[in-house]
Amino acid sequence: MKMTKQLIGLLLSLVFIYVMLSYSFEQSKVFWYLYTFTLLVGMSIAIISSKFKDNLPTWKYFIFGIGYGTILYGIIRLGYILLANIDESIARTITKFLATYAPTNIWHYLLLIFIIVVGEELFWRGYVQQQLKKWMSPIIAVIITSILFALSFVISGFIPGAIAALFSGLILGALYEWKQSMPLIIIAHEVFVLLLFMVLPLP
């Protein structure tokens, strides 16, 4: 009975997230507010339903987080270069998407760093991935969670973003299972997005 309730809760949570993300991408003028609200709810669900692992000392998860975040950015940038060389329209698609949804002011960056990135990691890796492990092996849970995470970008029609989300989800999900540290993957994710949007943007 308990497992059934947990499964229903997981499915309802995913439906809510997907519906809200779909609406968020349709309303580009208020995208940041809707997306932030969606992740705040996702974060709340995760906090209520899960216990987060933190098995590394502070200095380690900071150093590892910066390192793995940089590696993740390098992988995604390499993928972008390869795809852009194969098909120039992919580069135009990415540029168009980023022109519409990328952060453009200080408030966007504050929301991104303190709510959106944290909410994504708590919900997808801290909640969804851990719930799936109750019915399957950790490896399969990481793979399925990454696919579900990528679907949140498929909803927007941004396929290159979905591919990037799939690979980043695999890396961050595996990293969480390996190092058992939620702060580490949050920092890695934040380093990745700061490199992506501020330091060395793709287009």
Digit-coded pLDDT (tens) for 103-152: 989 999 999 999 999 999 999 999 999 999 999 999 999 999 999 999 98
Distances (CA, A) of 89 to 21, 84, 142, 189: 25, 7, 31, 27
* Helices (H), ranges, the chain: 2-26, 31-49, 58-86, 88-101, 106-111, 117-120, 129-132, 138-154, 159-179, 182-194
Q: For residue range 15-52, what is the model confidence (pLDDT) as tens digits?
A: 999 999 999 998 888 999 999 999 999 999 999 998 89
> Is this prediction's pTM over 0.75?
yes
Confidence at residue 203, expressed as pLDDT on a 0 to 100 scale: 64
Radius of gyration of the chain (CA): 16
- Distance CA(35)–CA(37), nearest Å, equals 5
Question: Residue 97: is its pLDDT beyond 80?
Answer: yes
The token duo for 125 is 């890796």
- Distance CA(41)–CA(116), nearest Å, equals 11
Of residues 87 and 191, which shows the higher confidence score? 191
Closest C-alpha among 198, 192, 202, 197 to residue 171: 192
- Distance CA(2)–CA(171), nearest Å, equals 31
